[in-house]
Each structure stands twice: as C-alpha cells, then as structure tokens.
C-alpha cells in the first residue's frame, strides 16, 4: 500500500510542478510534426520543379507555351483552340487549393489531463493532493517504531 500511495502522490506532485515543461513538450512535438509536413511538402515541390526543368531541357517549344500562359498573352495560331476559364471555375479552383493547403489541425493533441491542469486552481489542488498522499503513505504505512522496553533495575 505504501508503494501505491507514494507513487500516485509523487506523480501528482511532480505533474503539478512540471506542468509548464510538459505543456512546452507537447507544443514542441506539435511544432515538429508541422515542420516535418512542411518539409515533405517542400520536397514534393522541389521534385515537381525538377521534373519541369527536365521537361524544359528536353522540349525547347515548352518555353514558348509557358511564356504565353505566364505572361497572359494569347497565341495567334489559327489551328489551336485555347480554352478560357470562367471566373466561377477560377474561384472554385482557388477554393480547392486553399482548402488543401490550410488543413491544419485546429485541436492540438494535448492529453486530456494536461488540458484540465491548465487552470491554476486545479494544479494547486493536484499539488496538495499529491503532498497529502505522500504524507499519508509515510505516516500510515511507514516502518513501525520499536518501543524500548525498560528493564527494571535490580
């Protein structure tokens, strides 16, 4: 019983004291996860640009086509049909792209017990409950003192 009470009390006491460190740990873990996702996305973009550069090296006519599209000029080739996008189609595409890039989790993955401990009142109660359990474990389940039996003097 001593080990159970002492362990629970020590965990509660250390949790209340180390709350800010635990909160910082979980926040840093979330930031690391977000940075890894960003790094993977940048690697994907680099691969896409490398493929585009390879296509540019292989097909010199591609530069003419990209230049016309990038600068917004129209080609006067009579044998080619160029589709025109409407404002609604462009808005829908823009919305789809922004939804794809802004899919960040709104809720952090903090444990429930850590979110409950954000309130100072609860941290204080946790501290005193842990200290109380430690005191109870030492007072009630500690080693018993031997009483000295006095021998009568003869």
Q: In this predicted structure, what is the pLDDT of residue 103?
A: 52
CA dist 34 and 102 (Å) reads 12
Domain locations in the chain? 2-49+113-141
Question: How confident is the model over 46-65, as pLDDT tens digits?
Answer: 999 999 889 888 887 787 77
Per residue in 69-107, pLDDT (tens digit) is 677 776 666 777 767 778 888 888 888 888 765 555 545
pLDDT digits (tens, 9 = 90+) for 107-123: 567 888 788 888 889 88
Q: Which pair of tokens denotes residue 129?
A: 């409950």
Give me the percent of the chain exceeding a pLDDT of 90: 18
CA-based diameter of the chain, in Å?
133
pTM above 0.85, yes or no: no
């Amino acid at each position: 019983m001593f080990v159970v009470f002492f362990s629970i009390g020590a965990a509660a006491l250390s949790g209340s004291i180390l709350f800010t460190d635990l909160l910082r740990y979980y926040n840093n873990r979330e930031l690391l996860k977000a940075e890894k996702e960003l790094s993977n996305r940048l690697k994907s973009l680099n691969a896409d640009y490398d493929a585009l550069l390879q296509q540019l090296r292989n097909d010199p006519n591609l530069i003419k086509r990209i230049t016309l599209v990038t600068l917004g000029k129209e080609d006067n080739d009579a044998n080619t049909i160029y589709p025109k996008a409407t404002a609604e189609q462009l808005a829908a595409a823009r919305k789809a792209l922004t939804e794809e890039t802004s899919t960040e989790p709104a809720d952090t993955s903090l444990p429930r017990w850590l979110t409950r401990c954000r309130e100072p009142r609860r941290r204080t109660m946790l501290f005193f409950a842990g200290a109380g359990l430690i005191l109870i474990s030492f007072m009630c389940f500690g080693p018993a003192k031997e009483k000295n039996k006095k021998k009568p003097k003869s």
